Amino acid sequence: MNSKLIAMTAMMAAGASAAASDAPDGMRPNPNVIVILADDLGYGDIGCYGSRFISTPNIDALAREGVRFTNAYAPASTSSPSRYSLLTGKYAWRRNVGILPADAPLTIGSDELTLPALFRRNGYATALVGKWHLGLGSPDRPVDFNSSIAGGPLDVGFDYAYFFPATNDRVPCVYIENDRVEGLDPSDPIEVSYRHKVGSDPTGKENPELLTLKPIWGHDATIVNGISRIGWMSGGHNARWDDSQMAGNLLSHLLDYVEAHKDRPFFVYYAPNNAHEPRVPSAPFRGKSAAGIYGDVIEEFDYCVGELVAALKERDLYDNTIIVVTSDNAPMIKEGYDDGAFENIGFHDPYGDMRGEKYSLYEGGTRVPFVYSWPAGLDRPFEQTQRFGFLDLKSTLAGLLGFSLTEAEAADGVDGSALFTSVSAPVYREYILTQNNGGDIALRLGDWKYIAPRRGAGSELYNLAADPHELHDLSLACPQESRKFRKIIERDSLGRGK
């Protein structure tokens, strides 16, 4: 740990309410923390990770001044389990959390010490801006979008939340501010179903002539803005979002939050819609990238990061703000809509030359860009090649900032903070487990990659040093390793591992 950080950590340990004037060298203790989680952004989609056809100068600048991780893993290759693990520090596969239907109840217990709850306990204001997708309401009290929504972000550690309930391809296509749908006209109540059609709005299946974006599969229910969605909704017409303005709208709420909280430490989980389908960039970004519409929405995402950084600098907050930029899982280029992304992506490779994509247990599914910046807390920028799993972010931020965390509160998380301050930090955990949407598990230990047996398939074993593309399955040739790794996973499935 560098001397500057030791001084700061000691300051922070002295209490969350330490005044700005107590800090050495004019630095403020309790840095602001902003975790930026892109949706379906691949390892190779950022300039500093090798993208030549998508321009991301703002994220590249953060990496130049901070730490660029080259072996960072999302906990899962799909949204809900990855986000669940980020916010709780728990393996989602133990709790059967996969992609949640939009009417799923809240998956996180209100008594859990979540990532935002940790910050709140340490005197921070806490906010969610963006995608939720972790369920709303409870089994005995399903969500009514027309009244106060109980069982959501406000119940698990966020003081403020401006969010969309599930994904941008699912109904209801509305924003929720704290516990109320924004802009809802009570005389046009919302009804939502994932089982049958409700109301009389046209659907993609019945009225394909009304579509501006053609669905490929499963996205043919209620049409909102010319795009048919997963699920049916009626009502709430005034409250429905405009897809092309979603990134900008979320950004403006984020910037309002920063302005309103510039005088006290804040933690923000900023989870934009980009680059998830439907990909609908705002006009200035349409056609801007050299990788088709797929690149356009990523350039828009980078622009939002740049606007955030500019706002922090204007308020003299940038130096003492921790910013993390990463992604919940890899993309699938052609998935729900025929938007031309696959046809127009050109020579761009979102997977950084790795095998796998969204839903996959191969490296391309879960290895993600991960950039960390904290100018006041870092002696010099560097590239971190150690493996880091962001299921550990809660324990790691606690370690960086001197927050106490009991073993039970840490859950499955391990403190990897040494990796964030030193290029030569030792291995902080023996192995990293990742999962696919069905809860199948892959293990990364040293150069080894083991994929546990799945329904209808045996195990797989790869040596990534010799075979980075995971083409040569060594499970028959190296049974001892396979056995060892299977035992680790069995132990973890009983909740005894770390």
The residues that touch Ca ion, with contacts defined as CB under 5 A, are 39-40, 79, 328-329
Query: Which residues, other chains included, contact 310 with Cβ-Cβ below 8 Å and sequence gap of 6+?
Result: none
| Closest separation in Å from C-beta 99 to Ca ion | 9
> Residue 454 has which token pair?
């799945």
In sign, the C-alpha dihedral spanning 347, 351, 356, 360 is negative
| Closest separation in Å from C-beta 403 to Ca ion | 28
Residue with the shortest CB distance to Ca ion: 79
| Closest separation in Å from C-beta 30 to Ca ion | 31
| Closest separation in Å from C-beta 18 to Ca ion | 37
| Closest separation in Å from C-beta 233 to Ca ion | 21
When the beta carbons of 194 and 359 are compared against Ca ion, the nearer one is 359
The Cα–Cα gap between 368 and 319 comes to 25
Query: Which residues, other chains included, contact 462 with Cβ-Cβ below 8 Å and sequence gap of 6+?
Result: 448, 449, 450, 470, 471, 472, 473, 474
When the beta carbons of 329 and 395 are compared against Ca ion, the nearer one is 329
When the beta carbons of 79 and 107 are compared against Ca ion, the nearer one is 79
Fill in the DSSP letter of residue 343. H
> Residue 37 has which token pair?
């989680």
| Closest separation in Å from C-beta 82 to Ca ion | 7
When the beta carbons of 236 and 369 are compared against Ca ion, the nearer one is 369
Q: State the angle between helix axes of 246-260 and 292-314 in degrees (0 to 180), rounded to the nearest 10.
A: 10
Q: In the sheet that 370-373 helps form, which strands lie side by side, from edge to edge?
A: 180-181, 176-177, 160-164, 125-131, 266-271, 32-38, 321-327, 370-373, 67-73, 382-389
286: nearest Cα among 277, 295, 275, 278: 295
The Cα–Cα gap between 210 and 217 comes to 17
The Cα–Cα gap between 249 and 260 comes to 17
| Closest separation in Å from C-beta 45 to Ca ion | 13
Judged by DSSP in three states, 67 sits in strand
| Closest separation in Å from C-beta 275 to Ca ion | 9
| Closest separation in Å from C-beta 182 to Ca ion | 23
When the beta carbons of 247 and 317 are compared against Ca ion, the nearer one is 247
Look up tokens 């700061």; give the residue. 8
Omega of the bond prior to 275 within 30 degrees of 0, cis?
yes
CB neighbours (10 Å) of residue 154?
17
> Where do runs of H (alpha helix) occur along 109-245?
115-121
When the beta carbons of 325 and 445 are compared against Ca ion, the nearer one is 325
When the beta carbons of 39 and 103 are compared against Ca ion, the nearer one is 39
When the beta carbons of 45 and 415 are compared against Ca ion, the nearer one is 45
In which element (H, E) is residue 227 found? strand 227-228
When the beta carbons of 39 and 159 are compared against Ca ion, the nearer one is 39
